Amino acid sequence: MKNLEGRVALVTGAGSGIGRSDALVLAERGATVIVNDFDQKVAGATVAQIVGAGGRAVPCVGDVGDATTITEAIDAARRQVGDIDILVNNAGISGRQQEFDAISDADLSRMFQVHVMGAWYCTRAVLPGMKVRGRGKIINTSSILGMAGRKRSSHYAGAKAALIGLTKAWAKEFAEWNIQVNVVAPGRVRTPILGDFADSEEYKRDLQTNVPLRRRGEPEEVAWLVAFLASDESDYITGQVISPNGGEVI
């Protein structure tokens, strides 16, 4: 299914995890993918995987939390492949779980700089072109923690909740130009972020107790949803929070 043929997609944080799966699936559906990551090596690996499978992709190396750097990187990539039709604001950091009193101002600032300001800077960079063409898709990546919260994670949950608020406001504001804005809020997904803890008996027991489907999601299961929201099939869907989470948050 090549329903994204002729479209250009920018995926931030596409060097690994959900972002890489997003990039791969969008490329499979026919999109030219601008692969962003702050790490040149992992961005290049995603590009190589797409090109090796017969797709088209270019790297876009830069920290989304740095307005000047990411804007220049996006502009350089756009000169190579054309204006951006699809933006997936996926870049993020996890941060360790900490009690409220232990979260430093620096940790809090960095969490919001990457998740919230990063999405803001990238959206600001692509929005003028979308307005001119009278169409566009913006997909923000939040989390079930942004919907339901979790103790010892207020800095992360707060940043992810802010993305939901941005999505709803942008959906109303950008509708005039036929730009749909939605948010994907995954639950537990098999990515490198959890490290060895995901294999612990404690985590496995918690998974069995709290997730009705009794398993983690796969990155591709999030990416398939992203690809749908990036397609014309979702043209009447905007401002929505869609959460692939195995039933953990309903």
Please identify every residue annotated as catalytic: 156
Closest CA to 91 of 57, 135, 123: 123
Contact present, 84 and 126 (Cβ < 8 Å): yes
Contact present, 36 and 81 (Cβ < 8 Å): no
CA atoms within 13 A on the CB side of 204: 4
Q: Which residues contact 4 (CB under 8 A, 6 or more apart)?
A: 26, 29, 30, 31, 86, 227, 230, 231
Whole-number Cα distances in Å, 161 to 32, 55, 116: 30, 34, 9
Contact present, 11 and 36 (Cβ < 8 Å): yes
**Strand locations in the chain (E):** 8-11, 32-37, 56-61, 86-89, 136-141, 179-184, 241-242
CA atoms within 13 A on the CB side of 240: 13
Length of the chain: 250
What does the alpha-carbon distance between residue 140 and residue 229 come to, in Å, rounded to a whole number? 11
